[in-house]
Amino acid sequence: MPGPDISSYRDLDPVTRILMGPGPSDVPPRVLRAMAAPTLGHLDPDFLTIMSETQQLLRDVMQTENALTIPVSGTGSSGMEACFVNLVEPGDQVAVVVNGVFGTRMVDCAGRLGADIIQIDADWGRAVQPEAVEAALKGKQPKLFAVVHAETSTGVRQPLADIVKIVKDSGALMMLDCVTSLGGVEVKLDAWGIDAAFSGTQKCLSCPPGLAPLSFNEKAVAKLNARSSKVPSWYLDLTMVGDYWGSARKYHHTAPINMIYALRESLRIILEEGLEGRFARHQRNSEALIAGLETMGMKMLVPAEERLASLNTVLIPEGADDVATRKALLKQYGLEIGAGLGPLAGKMWRVGLQGHSSSERNVLLFLTALESVLSAQGVKVQPGGAAAAEAVFAKAR
């Protein structure tokens, strides 16, 4: 029998896009080159050194001294799941803030583990207010409180200081989803009193998707060690995964070696730039983008004080065709932006300015491209969007 006609499979040669959606973001060539380095064994002494370095770089970027700071094998959601499966036992009361897709996902995750959930709802497109958290926790003693720092589905950055205080008073562990903030917007695990946190590699870290940075402090580790039941996931059981990443270096599952090379390089790039400079760049580019969009006559979904610099949500202007606009941006400019999700589908666009994608060039290109695409549809837009953005850049120079 003849084999398959292998010549029908072309060489893999994907087009070059500009990734300005909710993630993945553009990956710097240095990170791609790091991934192409020869694969080592997962217990090779050279790889063990690379692991330790990656952990320390992660601690520096997450601003923590937590010993248990590791990249979980899997995308951001595996970090979310790892937090819940390790910290929740059936019947535990778990409070979760829901004001977007990822809060909803956390409720699903915790619910599957038999948690008794206290759901704290807030409007999609707004942060949760401390008073709402206080009211929801009144007279209750949840074991865990989970909130999304950067809601990628709405573009909201959740202020945390007041909430952490309320959560500490309740006795709960404070768990943070910092998938779309880490590496783009300030995240200080230790100074903020965060007990458990997870992130993902393909947002502001600008590494391909595939790993989920996770960090547990001593209180979270103590909760894990005090479990009366086994962690219900074998793969994500941090008592065992921690033995591989900790001093025992005991095989659990084969580490995704080349992904860890990539993460190490992306973290090196972040710390070379400096965290403060990197956050300022994200903030400036977001402000320039918004100045451009508002000059063109468009409106943002989120009030100024709750906006997330790494993910900007703009309302679709009257008369514009959502799908046709995104298609034209992709086809004519190679530019990817995100659609609205859930109740916000068809109502807004999500413009990511994450990590390597957060650049002056991309802001100017997007505004110019959007003006052209919308004008071609007959949508009335004011001119001068790119010039307004350029004025923001000029002021910062």
Nearer Cβ to ligand PLP (23/183): 23
- The CB density around residue 305, as the number of other CB atoms within 10 Å, is 8
Whole-number Cα distances in Å, 86 to 39, 102, 224, 315 = 30, 19, 6, 39
- In the stretch 3-32, what mask flags binding to ligand PLP with x, by CB under 6 A? --------------------x---------
CA–CA separation, 79 and 216 (whole Å): 11
CB-based contacts of 205, cutoff 8 Å, min separation 6: 61, 182, 183, 199, 213, 263, 266, 267, 270, 355
CA–CA separation, 167 and 173 (whole Å): 7
Nearest residue to the partner ligand PLP, using Cβ? 76
Nearer Cβ to ligand PLP (69/180): 180
Q: Cβ 13 to ligand PLP, closest distance in Å?
A: 25
Nearer Cβ to ligand PLP (76/183): 76
**Pairing mode, strands 156-157 and 116-121:** unpaired
Nearer Cβ to ligand PLP (102/145): 102
Nearer Cβ to ligand PLP (336/371): 336
Q: What value, to the nearest 5°, has the Cα angle with vertex 357 and ends 356 and 360? A: 105
Three-state SS for 318?
A: coil
Q: Using the rule CB under 6 A, which residue among 137, 179, 259, 373 binds ligand PLP?
A: 179
Contact in structure between 307 and 184 (CB atoms under 8 Å): no
- In the stretch 194-233, what mask flags binding to ligand PLP with x, by CB under 6 A? ------x--------x------------------------
State yes or no: residue 174 binds ligand PLP (CB under 6 A): no
- At residue 142, what is the residue type? P
Q: Cβ 230 to ligand PLP, closest distance in Å?
A: 25
Nearer Cβ to ligand PLP (82/392): 82
Q: Using the rule CB under 6 A, which residue among 148, 255, 363, 364 binds ligand PLP?
A: 148
Whole-number Cα distances in Å, 18 to 222, 286, 290, 315, 359 = 44, 16, 19, 21, 11
Whole-number Cα distances in Å, 386 to 240, 293, 299, 335 = 52, 9, 16, 16
CA–CA separation, 192 and 165 (whole Å): 10
Q: Cβ 331 to ligand PLP, closest distance in Å?
A: 25
Nearer Cβ to ligand PLP (80/316): 80
Report how many residues bind ligand PLP under the rule CB under 6 A: 14
Part of the chain binding ligand PLP (CB under 6 A), chosen from 71-79, 185-193, 245-253, 263-271: 71-79
Which residues contact ligand PLP (rule: CB under 6 A)? 23, 75-77, 80, 102, 148, 150, 152, 177, 179-180, 200, 209
